[in-house]
């Protein structure tokens, strides 16, 4: 029980340290952000179409800040409060206007130009720098929007026939699809059938090549391997027997060459000794002068 309590204390202490570290990072980041940015007030003598909270503040097209509040000071004036980076080279003669990202995008405060040697932005009563937007720049933006809309309207007007033909073709196409909906359904059913067969084929291939125990392919490969190993063993035995047989034949041929009589009389008998030639018959004595026959 005491060990479990120690574990609980260690876990709680670890979580507390992590939470403290996370809070310190957030605090340091917010402090750094606060030091890196300063408020600036922008006054629009006229409408500020499209400007809202969260809009960008761009200096020469580069984002340097963010709008944090937009309010009406009187029926003809709009005041926007923004947080801008301290490194942004904003001067008293910096031109202020509005710019849009696309035709219907959110408006952004546009800051442009200014001499490097010009004095800093003048401060308002509460110590916040104040810039007044150039009415001509706002008028230029409004005129640009109107010109863009007029160009779009002119393009549509000049291509009414093409637009009508495109819409008519689209209508014809959708009508053809509606008329052939049954055929399309049949085609889709056939496609589903083909896909089902493809799934079955893939499952079959998976059962052959994979599976829990390696699949049928692994079993076939193992059987072929076992057959090859068995054939190798048997061929080795046959070759050994062949070598012994050839040795026996070689020894028999050598023995026959040394003693060919063994082929006729066997290994235990030898050939009969050659008979000695018979002794020569005694020659009759030579005829001498015998007794003469009396007459």
Q: Phi/psi at 63 (nearest 5 deg)?
A: -70, 125
> Does 268 have pLDDT greater than 90?
no
Q: Among candidates 111, 106, 11, which has minimal Cα distance to 65?
A: 111
For the entire predicted model, the pTM comes to 0.39
Q: Which two tokens stand for residue 32?
A: 């750094």
Can you tell me the distance from the alpha carbon of 206 to that of 189, in angstroms, rounded to the nearest whole number?
25
* Residue 290 half-sphere exposure toward CB, CA atoms < 13 A: 4
Angle at 57 between CA 51 and CA 59, to 5 degrees: 135
Can you tell me the distance from the alpha carbon of 181 to that of 189, in angstroms, rounded to the nearest whole number?
12
Q: Phi/psi at 111 (nearest 5 deg)?
A: -115, 130
- Domains of the chain: which residue ranges? 33-147, 195-254
The β-bridge partners of 62 are 59
Can you tell me the distance from the alpha carbon of 98 to that of 80, in angstroms, rounded to the nearest whole number?
12
Buried residues in 51-66 as b, exposed as e (16+ CB within 10 A): beeebbbbbeeeebbb
162-209 per-position pLDDT tens digit:
877 888 888 888 888 788 878 888 888 888 888 888 777 777 766 666
Percent of the chain with pLDDT over 70: 67
State the helix-helix crossing angle for 215-258 and 181-209, rounded to 10 degrees.
Answer: 40
In this predicted structure, what is the pLDDT of residue 17?
A: 74
Yes or no: say if 43 and 138 are a contact pair by the CB < 8 Å rule: no
Least confident of 3-12, 68-77, 193-202, 225-234: 3-12
């Amino acid at each position: 029980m005491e060990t479990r309590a120690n574990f609980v204390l260690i876990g709680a202490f670890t979580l507390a340290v992590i939470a403290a570290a996370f809070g310190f990072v957030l605090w340091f980041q917010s402090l750094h952000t606060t030091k890196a940015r300063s408020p600036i007030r922008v006054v629009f003598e006229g409408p500020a179409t499209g400007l809202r909270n969260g809009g960008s503040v761009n200096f020469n097209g580069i984002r340097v800040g963010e709008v944090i509040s937009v309010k009406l000071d009187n029926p003809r004036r709009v005041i926007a409060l923004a947080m801008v980076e301290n490194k942004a080279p904003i001067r008293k003669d910096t031109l202020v206007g509005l710019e849009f990202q696309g035709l219907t995008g959110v408006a952004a405060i546009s800051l442009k130009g200014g001499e490097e040697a010009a004095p800093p932005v003048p401060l308002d009563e509460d110590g916040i720098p104040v810039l007044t937007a150039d009415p001509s720049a706002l008028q230029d933006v409004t005129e640009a929007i109107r010109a863009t809309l007029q160009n779009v309207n002119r393009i549509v007007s000049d291509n009414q026939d093409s637009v009508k033909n495109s819409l008519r073709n689209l209508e014809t196409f959708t009508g053809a699809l509606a008329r052939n909906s049954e055929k399309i359904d049949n085609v889709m059913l056939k496609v589903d059938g083909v896909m089902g067969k493809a799934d079955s084929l893939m499952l079959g291939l998976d059962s052959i090549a994979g599976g829990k125990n390696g699949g049928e392919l692994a079993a076939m490969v193992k059987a072929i391997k076992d057959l090859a190993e068995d054939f190798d063993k048997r061929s080795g035995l046959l070759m050994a027997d062949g070598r012994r047989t050839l040795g026996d034949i070689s020894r028999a041929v050598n023995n026959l060459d040394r003693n060919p009589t063994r082929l006729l009389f066997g290994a235990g008998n030898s050939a009969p000794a050659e008979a000695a030639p018979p002794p020569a018959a005694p020659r009759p004595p030579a005829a001498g002068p015998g007794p003469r026959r009396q007459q």
